[in-house]
Amino acid sequence: MKSIDEIRRIVEENESWRNSTLNLIAAENIMFPEVTGELYCNDFMHRYAEGKPYQRYYNGTKFIDELESACEMHFREHFRCHYADVRPISGAIANLAVFSGLPYTNGKVVTNSLPAGGHITHNKMGTISKVCKREVYNFVADGSNPFKMDVDASIKLIRDISPDFIVLGKSMFLHPEPVRELRNEFPGLIIVYDAAHVFGLIYGGEFQAPFDEGADIITASTHKTFPGPQGGIILIKNEMPFEKSIDSAIFPGILSSHHLNRIPALLATAIAYDTKHKDYGRKVIETAQKLSEMLAAAGYVVCGYDGKKYTYTHQVVLDVAGMGGGVAVANKLEKNGIIVNKNSLPWDKSVINPSGIRIGVQEAVLRGMDAEQIFEKLDRALKS
């Protein structure tokens, strides 16, 4: 059995190791330097507040009521939307609540496939199918750039199967989603936009604006490009009949505690973004674009080029099949102090040995690095 001192030592070792490495995992981030200490580690971590602010099932909640309602109001105002729920403790929980709260008419949904970069919660093996019992169909990928959607073929598919709703957004995310095109074609269709990866870029006004383009619901993680505490969020643009069922899917449906201690940190992150870090999203995207160009110029196989750019997000995807594959390259990078994840590419036959790696620059940018510095480290490690 481990002693408490040993546990503490491992925690400290991890901390100093991860601080000494270059983290390029696209799904992670650290928090803004202003959001430290008791804004995250505080007495709320010991407490419960079931229900909504000022309508709780417990006593002792007056301060979390104040902060949670301020946090929801902040996001409602920022996104000019009707509803915000910050209780989901992760993006996956936000998806579960939305996928189970939306109507079940024919039970069919259309989402991005895993090979095209879609998330497990949107697919056959995950929440939408396993828990919410929806029959999943996938958008058609563009033949010449399978990191993008073939919009015409996908419109035809949607017309053929009349889904209850569609889910845009993905985990390998290089290009904006065709929200406006799909909204124009299907005025009454419920469009859910999973912004887990790009929430910080959207928040900063640097990526597409899903609500302005026609999405009804946004779900997201609050800790990827949005550099807040680990958690999730649900936003609904206009009042809709399913709002109540989505709300009650969170509580009493899924959660009891919603991990209250992260709420002050979430609100503080949003305020820090609005004030001291206004240019964070722009810097992240510019850095990813410059890095992708430097990697391509150095001869690496960079994915997703659309005739103008390789990426419009924080991500850069490399095809490393010719360098031993994603597993070997990710392991080699880790030995050299760089953490990335192996990633399946749209044409891969097996997920066991994927031919790609996915790089995200959002944490490196927050730590003050530029594209040249990231490139230099990556290039040296890849050539070692």
- Which C-beta is closer to ligand PLP: that of 61 or that of 127? 127
Where do we find the tokens 């003050």? 368
- Which C-beta is closer to ligand PLP: that of 90 or that of 257? 90
Residue nearest to ligand PLP (CB): 91
- Indicate the angle between helix axes 262-275 and 62-79, nearest 10 degrees: 40
Q: Is the preceding peptide bond at 88 cis, omega within 30 degrees of 0?
A: no
The least distance separating ligand PLP from the CB of residue 336, rounded to whole angstroms, comes to 25
Rounded CA separation 167/219 (Å): 10
The least distance separating ligand PLP from the CB of residue 384, rounded to whole angstroms, comes to 29
- Which C-beta is closer to ligand PLP: that of 197 or that of 277? 197
Q: Which DSSP state fits 253?
A: I
The least distance separating ligand PLP from the CB of residue 41, rounded to whole angstroms, comes to 20
The least distance separating ligand PLP from the CB of residue 92, rounded to whole angstroms, comes to 3
Point out which residues bind ligand PLP (CB under 6 A). 27, 90-92, 95, 119, 121, 169-171, 194, 196-197, 221, 232
- Which C-beta is closer to ligand PLP: that of 116 or that of 302? 116
The least distance separating ligand PLP from the CB of residue 370, rounded to whole angstroms, comes to 25
- Which C-beta is closer to ligand PLP: that of 146 or that of 375? 146
DSSP string for residues in 16-52: HHHHHSEE--TT--PPPTTS-GGGTSSGGGG----EE
Assign 168 to helix, strand or coil.
Answer: strand
Assign residue 296 a region: left if phi > 0, alpha if psi is -120 to 50, beta otherwise? Answer: alpha
**Which tokens is 227 given?**
């550099």
